[in-house]
Amino acid sequence: MNTFINSVPRSWRERKYKYRLIGGICKKCNATFYPYRGSCPYCGSDDIEEVNLPKKGRLISYTIIYSPPSEFRLKQPYIVGLIELEDGTRIIAQITDVDVNEVKDGIEVEAVFRRYREQGADGIIEYGIKFRPISD
């Protein structure tokens, strides 16, 4: 088994979705969603195209997680928010750069790519998308 040949395109593909805000748009019902997937979560159609989503939006609601699973130990407690992007797409993502006591519904946020979790003793760190408040 040639894992090198097989794994390189796969990691490229994952990185593409991880470092750009690429979602899907359903050609049948026009819904947009994130992350990209091959079938529409709203109508089930598989006529999906990639779309670059706006990186700014508004925090609709949030939950503060006080007891994260161990791989999230980099930062706890942490905030998970429901964000509505400028085009109306809704995303669930971690909210960063704000104190849990200061976060509130309705704040403007923007996408950033941040350390997401650390895996076990080997210390592999994954990076992923988070949202932070837009200052000023």
Residue closer to Zn ion (CB basis): 53 or 95: 53
Smallest distance, Å, CB 29 to Zn ion? 3
Range list of β-strands (E), the chain: 22-26, 32-33, 48-52, 56-65, 78-85, 90-95, 108-119, 124-133
To Zn ion, the closest distance from the beta carbon of 112 in angstroms equals 29
Length of the chain: 136
Residues in contact with Zn ion by CB under 5 A are: 26, 28-29, 31, 40, 42-43, 45
Spell out the residues 6+ positions from residue 102 whose beta carbon is closer than 8 angstroms to its own: none
Per the listing, tokens 């999906």 go with 48
Q: Considering beta carbons, is residue 44 or 77 the nearer one to Zn ion?
A: 44
Closest CB to Zn ion among residues 31, 80: 31
